[in-house]
Amino acid sequence: MSILGNRVLRKEDPRFLRGEGRYVENLPLEGALTVTFVRSLFAHARIAGVDKSAAEALPNVQVLTGADIDVGPIPPPPFPGLEQGMARPLVAVDTVRFVGDIVAIVLSDGRAAGADAAELVMVDYDPLPVVVKPADAAKDEVLLFPELGTNVAARSGSAEHDEKLFDGCDVVVSGTNISQRMAPSPLEPRSAAAEVGPDGRVTAWLSTQTPHQDRMVLAGVLGLDPADVRVIAPDVGGGFGAKMLGVEELLIVWLARKVGKPVRWTETRSESMVALSHGRAQHQSYTIGGTRDGKVLAYRLEALQDCGAYPALGAFLPNLTALMSSGVYAIQRIEFEGRSVVTNTTPISAFRGAGRPEATQAIERALDAFAAELELDPVEVRRTNLIPKDAFPHTTVTHAAYDSGDYEGALDLALHAAGLEELRDEQRRRREEGGAKQLGIGISCYVEITNGIDETEFGEVEITEDGGAIVRTGSFSHGQGHETTFAMIAAERLGLPVEQVTVVKGDTDDVARGTGTYGSKSTQIGGMAARLAADEVVERAKQLVADYFEAGVADISLDLALGRFRVVDAPEPSLSWPELAARAAADGRLGELKMAHDFKSSPTFPFGAHVAVVEVDTETGQVELLRLVAVDDAGTLINPLIAEGQVHGGVATGVSQALYEQVVYDEDGTPLTSTFVGYAFPSSADLPLWEVVEMETPTPVNPLGAKGIGESGTIGATPAVHSAVLDALAPQGVRHIDLPANGENVWRAIQEAKS
């Protein structure tokens, strides 16, 4: 029986539960200097001068400013259409563009001394006009890069309107959405350390999701041979898409080389809230039209993407929103227009879902608005428009090539598990009674894309002298449990107990190459690479066994249940992995049992349906989430326990976007949510237990049949909860609430509807 599909406990957990995880901050680094960044308190200003004398009068303190940095500004990532002129200096030289921009670097003997010295660095700012809202930025009145004459960093889709788009529609409905700015808030904030060895090689310890890519960027920016850069990512306490190489990590490595001593930095929580990239921040306008019986004929989506002060990955994300704008529906006419603009705020990058939650939020709100206008049941309108099960593979009009799916099956499962009929009865009862606490039921259907850009991942399998195996992977696990699932994938092919397979990741000296982890692609490409490398090791092993038994290789088989090689149809002679490894080691042939594979694949399209049940206090606006039923289909599951854990975390993020979290700036660009006191980050006590229902529709794209699961919960949950809140308030005449649907926004929407 295969180990795959079993709820194997996470191999990494005993280490974490015993407090034995090793993070960058725990690293003993003899004689290391501590780095403290002096950050701008102004959102937009000219730097008239920096006086470091008082800080440098403290013992063992050195202060560097932008003038000391010999590395030029970093241009945005080289995605097509991104304005490359909007480059970010490692340390601001003449202009700061957001609260958190680095203006000086303090090197000291420890954190306390660094904090004291940073306070004594006197920066003379001449404030400039500030632009915080993307709609204002789009007017190009206050410019962040005046030399470019525009704040537009990228465009996506088409600016051309088809006048006839809504021809033939009986009903056309328009509305707006805000996918508000979120702070990724990993529990371990960013941390970096670097040291130059006697041979001139630099080692960087980074709390990152992408060690191999970081090595290439570090080498490229600092003008080094990649062979002279080693990146080690030890245990990483969450990333949620945001822990990619930033200017801070580049500066740490640059500083270690500059001062000739090891240096280290760990951001504080409030620093993390302003300096780590934020996510989402997309403002949408939609128009949807169709026939009176609920068939959607046309859909138009305009997205205004806030990029923050320097365009990063976030500027490109509307392209993913465009690609996925059709959602699970067969819509024949779609128009998308996206603009990404810079504002005086923290830069926007990837955050769990990255571009796809925005697409789902838009189409699901549009569908609900369309159903409401037609006074039709939103479930039935969905059914009318779903891409049918027999239509796969299916390419949407926005060119997304969906691999496999059963969208109606997911919807049915979710509705059945939720008990829709009983819920509607209870809702009716409460409405008739007319009490303050009304029930709302929200439904969302979604499809998303994982491994969105056809990537390749590296995997290597090596048999060790004791007959166990090491899997080396270019994927990186920072909470996803790869040490377990990748071990399961290799163990299944090798016929070894999962305990005897060790997964190695995150050290560029140990793992030849890799891309890291984002976009929920690890299992389908990294897991596949490990599987194929394991298959190749088995083939090599059969050759060895054939030599030892003086048999033809075609006659050697591996009994996967016992982990024994034998000649076909004969119980003996046979060799177990430990026996084979020992013999090969004695013969100097153990090295033959090591194989690497690079696996490339096209994207997969996980999908699902969520049902949310909320209770809304129509007097105070308070929302309580009572239930959330989640059906998330990620193809064949490697480990349902881990997949469920991923859904739990993902749903928490999605619910939290619907009800709680939002980064807020005042009109001067000062962040008002830069601590966990001000930022509404929920704890598990604020959330109910999710009801997770399994569904597995394999993908034909890879032999594992696996799609990604890491972001699904996030994508499905937000629109379901949003829709539930609106459903509860429909009798009050509330048709729109900006997210988060917290007490204040809900109360305001109720008052507005009353007036």
Per CB under 6 A, residues contacting ligand MCN are 238-241, 352, 478-482, 485, 517-523, 527, 634-639, 642-643, 646, 649, 706-711
Shortest gap between Cβ of 485 and ligand MCN (angstroms)? 3
Cα distances (Å, whole numbers) of residue 665 to 130, 244, 310, 628: 11, 24, 17, 31
Nearer to ligand MCN, 95 or 639 (CB): 639
How many other CB atoms are found less than 10 A from the CB of residue 732? 14
Q: Which residue has the tokens 């509860």?
A: 728
Nearer to ligand MCN, 121 or 449 (CB): 449
The continuous run of DSSP H or E covering 544 comes out as helix 528-549
How many Å apart are CA 320 and CA 156, to the nearest integer?
Answer: 10
Shortest gap between Cβ of 474 and ligand MCN (angstroms)? 11
Shortest gap between Cβ of 671 and ligand MCN (angstroms)? 22
Shortest gap between Cβ of 606 and ligand MCN (angstroms)? 8
Contact 183, 211 (CB under 8 A): no
Shortest gap between Cβ of 457 and ligand MCN (angstroms)? 10
Nearer to ligand MCN, 482 or 564 (CB): 482
Shortest gap between Cβ of 257 and ligand MCN (angstroms)? 30
Cβ neighbors of 39 (< 8 A, separation 6 or more) are 99, 100, 101, 102, 103, 271, 274, 275
Most distant CA pair in the chain: distance in Å? 90
Contact 305, 338 (CB under 8 A): yes
Nearer to ligand MCN, 286 or 518 (CB): 518
β-strands 296-308, 282-290 pairing: antiparallel
Cβ neighbors of 13 (< 8 A, separation 6 or more) are none
Shortest gap between Cβ of 645 and ligand MCN (angstroms)? 8
Nearer to ligand MCN, 345 or 524 (CB): 524
DSSP lists the bridge partners of residue 609 as 445, 631
Q: Which of 546, 565, 562, 544 is nearest to 554 (CA)?
A: 546
Amino acid making up residue 123: V
Shortest gap between Cβ of 652 and ligand MCN (angstroms)? 10
How many Å apart are CA 628 and CA 717, to the nearest integer?
Answer: 8
Shortest gap between Cβ of 205 and ligand MCN (angstroms)? 18
Nearer to ligand MCN, 311 or 527 (CB): 527
What is the rounded radius of gyration, in angstroms, for the C-alpha atoms of the chain? 27
Nearer to ligand MCN, 33 or 449 (CB): 449
Amino acid making up residue 29: L
Nearer to ligand MCN, 300 or 478 (CB): 478
How many Å apart are CA 70 and CA 52, to the nearest integer?
Answer: 19
Residue 604 is given by DSSP the state B
How many Å apart are CA 394 and CA 400, to the nearest integer?
Answer: 8
Nearer to ligand MCN, 95 or 266 (CB): 266
DSSP lists the bridge partners of residue 450 as 604
Dihedral of CA 222/223/227/228: which sign? negative
Helices 712-728 and 640-659: crossing angle in degrees, nearest 10, is 40
Nearer to ligand MCN, 114 or 357 (CB): 357
Shortest gap between Cβ of 694 and ligand MCN (angstroms)? 11
Nearer to ligand MCN, 346 or 523 (CB): 523
Three-class SS state of 658: helix
Nearer to ligand MCN, 444 or 604 (CB): 604
Cα-based torsion angle of the residue sequence 39, 45, 50, 56 in order, rounded to the nearest 10 degrees: -10
Nearer to ligand MCN, 345 or 646 (CB): 646
- Residue 468 has phi, psi (to 5 degrees) of -90, -170
Token pair, residue 730, equals 């429909």
Amino acid making up residue 142: V
Shortest gap between Cβ of 239 and ligand MCN (angstroms)? 4
Shortest gap between Cβ of 523 and ligand MCN (angstroms)? 3
Shortest gap between Cβ of 579 and ligand MCN (angstroms)? 31
How many Å apart are CA 722 and CA 324, to the nearest integer?
Answer: 20
Neighbouring C-alpha atoms within 13 Å toward the C-beta of 279? 24
Contact 66, 93 (CB under 8 A): yes
Nearer to ligand MCN, 378 or 710 (CB): 710
How many other CB atoms are found less than 10 A from the CB of residue 73? 16
Nearer to ligand MCN, 367 or 634 (CB): 634
Using CB positions, name the residue nearest to ligand MCN: 479
Cα 191 vs. chain centroid, distance in angstroms?
19
Shortest gap between Cβ of 288 and ligand MCN (angstroms)? 29
Shortest gap between Cβ of 351 and ligand MCN (angstroms)? 7
Nearer to ligand MCN, 495 or 635 (CB): 635
Shortest gap between Cβ of 479 and ligand MCN (angstroms)? 2
Shortest gap between Cβ of 358 and ligand MCN (angstroms)? 15
DSSP lists the bridge partners of residue 230 as 203
* CA angle, 160 then 316 then 646, to 5°: 125
Nearer to ligand MCN, 273 or 709 (CB): 709
Shortest gap between Cβ of 203 and ligand MCN (angstroms)? 24
DSSP lists the bridge partners of residue 196 as 202
Cα distances (Å, whole numbers) of residue 387 to 146, 265, 383, 391: 47, 50, 9, 7
Contact 712, 695 (CB under 8 A): no
Helices 407-418 and 378-385: crossing angle in degrees, nearest 10, is 160
Nearer to ligand MCN, 117 or 642 (CB): 642
Token pair, residue 719, equals 């629109």
How many Å apart are CA 318 and CA 302, to the nearest integer?
Answer: 10
The continuous run of DSSP H or E covering 722 comes out as helix 712-728
